[in-house]
């Protein structure tokens, strides 16, 4: 058993794993499950049906699993699921799902959520993401893997952000951002490829193929979805295929200017 403060409030029924530490003045719901090795600092609150995996670090005054900020919510059985090895900093707010969105907010593993980050209801986030201070994610947003969202950046409800994308600080994201892209501004538009992030994960030949595909998609005179379908039909590399499928599936549209360069 880990170090659990006598001043913590843990309701009967909560499932607490091995080597879990819980600080003073924490609250743990009867329906919560806390995975082994997780550390919850003083003053943090875990509400509702919240499942937290192994080795997470939850800092002071985080509020995890409190009811959705949705006027339609009427006490339905909803859930928040968090993976492993996440760092959740001070004053963050994570909401569970709603009946209209499938009932689950789902967070992956190895993510960093800096102070004051808000994750709305029915959000889905992959692995290895960084959300900087006061990033505000509205309901039903889907964020892929290895995504970086700059500080004080709101993301509109139902927006999708693809793998390896980066959103600049103080941006306002109202449309879908495809994988591998760098976007910024209010309203955010694609400025090019996320080259700094890609150089950490892909080799030069893969990046060169992405540069060529980027120019065909975003610097041609054809409609974006037409260009995406043509590239997809040409049986391109797997990274370009991922971008093209994302564009073709987009319902909110992709924000860019024809003059964008990478």
19 and 134 share one domain:
yes
CA terminus-to-terminus distance, the chain:
52
Shared-domain flag, residues 19 and 123: yes
User: Which one is catalytic: 65, 97, 121, 144?
Assistant: 121
Q: Is residue 131 assigned to a domain?
A: yes
| C-alpha span between 132 and 140 (Å, rounded) | 19
Question: pLDDT > 90: what percent of the chain?
Answer: 95
Cis upstream peptide for 187 (omega within 30°): yes
Are 106 and 212 within one domain? no
**pLDDT 10s digits, 15-24:** 999 999 999 9
CATH of the domain at 206: 1.20.1180.10
Q: What is the structure's pLDDT at 262?
A: 52
The mean predicted confidence, pLDDT, of the chain is 96
What's the total number of domains in the chain? Answer: 2
User: How far is the CA of 157 from the CAs of 51, 97, 173, 210, 249, in angstroms?
Assistant: 24, 13, 9, 28, 17
The residue range of the domain holding 223 is 198-249
The tokens for 53 are 């995996």
Going by pLDDT thresholds of 50, 70 and 90, the confidence category of residue 209 is very high
Residue of 139, 144, 162, 197 marked catalytic: 139
User: What CATH number does residue 67 fall under?
Assistant: 2.160.10.10
Residue 27 lies in a domain: yes
> Residue 80, SS3?
strand
Question: Quick check: is 153 in a domain?
Answer: no
What's the mean pLDDT in 212-237? 94
Question: Which pTM value belongs to this model?
Answer: 0.97
Distance CA 104, CA 95 (A): 9
Answer yes or no: 121 catalytic: yes
Residue 154 lies in a domain: no
Contact yes or no for 48/30 (Cβ under 8 A): no
Instruction: Tell me, yes or no, whether 23 and 133 share the same domain.
Output: yes
The model's pLDDT over 82-125, given as tens digits with 9 standing for 90+, comes to 999 999 999 999 999 999 999 999 999 999 999 999 999 999 99
List the Cα angle 191/257/147 in 5-degree steps.
Answer: 35
Mark whether 239 is an active-site residue.
no
pLDDT at 2: 78
- Number of helical H runs and strand E runs in the chain: 4, 26
What's the gap between Cα 142 and its chain centre? Answer: 7
pLDDT band at residue 218 using 50, 70 and 90 as cut-offs: very high
Q: Render pLDDT for 12-55 as a digit per residue (tens, 0 to 9).
A: 999 999 999 999 999 999 999 999 999 999 999 999 999 999 99
Same domain, 123 and 23: yes
Distance between CA atoms of 240 and 219, rounded to whole angstroms?
15
Residue 218 lies in a domain: yes
Beta-sheet pairing, 188-193 with 181-185: antiparallel
Active site (annotated) includes residue 122:
yes
Catalytic-labelled residue, pool 31, 122, 127, 176: 122
Do 131 and 244 fall within a single domain? no
Boundary-marking domain end, from 140, 164, 190: 140
Compute how many other C-beta atoms are within 10 angstroms of the C-beta atom of residue 123: 26
């Amino acid at each position: 058993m880990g170090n659990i403060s006598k001043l913590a409030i843990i309701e009967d029924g909560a499932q607490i794993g091995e080597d879990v530490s819980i600080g003073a003045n924490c609250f743990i719901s009867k329906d919560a499950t806390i995975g082994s090795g997780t550390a919850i600092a003083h003053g943090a609150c875990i509400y509702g049906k919240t499942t937290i995996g192994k080795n997470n670090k939850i800092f002071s005054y985080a509020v995890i699993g409190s009811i959705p900020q949705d006027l339609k919510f009427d006490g339905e059985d909803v859930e928040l699921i968090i993976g492993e090895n996440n760092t959740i900093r001070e004053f963050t707010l994570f909401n569970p799902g709603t009946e209209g969105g499938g009932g689950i907010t789902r967070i992956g593993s190895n993510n960093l959520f800096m102070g004051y980050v808000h994750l709305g209801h029915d959000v889905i986030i992959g692995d290895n993401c960084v959300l900087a201070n006061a990033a505000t994610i509205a309901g039903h947003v889907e964020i892929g893997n290895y995504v970086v969202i700059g500080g004080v950046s709101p993301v509109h409800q139902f927006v999708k952000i693809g793998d390896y994308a980066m959103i600049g600080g103080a941006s306002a994201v109202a449309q879908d951002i495809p994988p591998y892209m760098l976007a910024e501004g209010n309203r955010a538009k694609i400025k090019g490829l996320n080259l700094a992030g890609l150089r950490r994960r892909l080799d030069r030949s893969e990046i060169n193929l992405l540069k060529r595909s980027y120019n065909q998609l975003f610097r041609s005179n054809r409609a974006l979805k037409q260009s995406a379908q043509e590239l997809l039909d040409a049986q391109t590399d797997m990274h370009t295929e991922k971008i093209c499928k994302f564009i073709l599936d987009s319902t909110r549209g992709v924000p860019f200017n024809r003059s964008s360069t990478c």
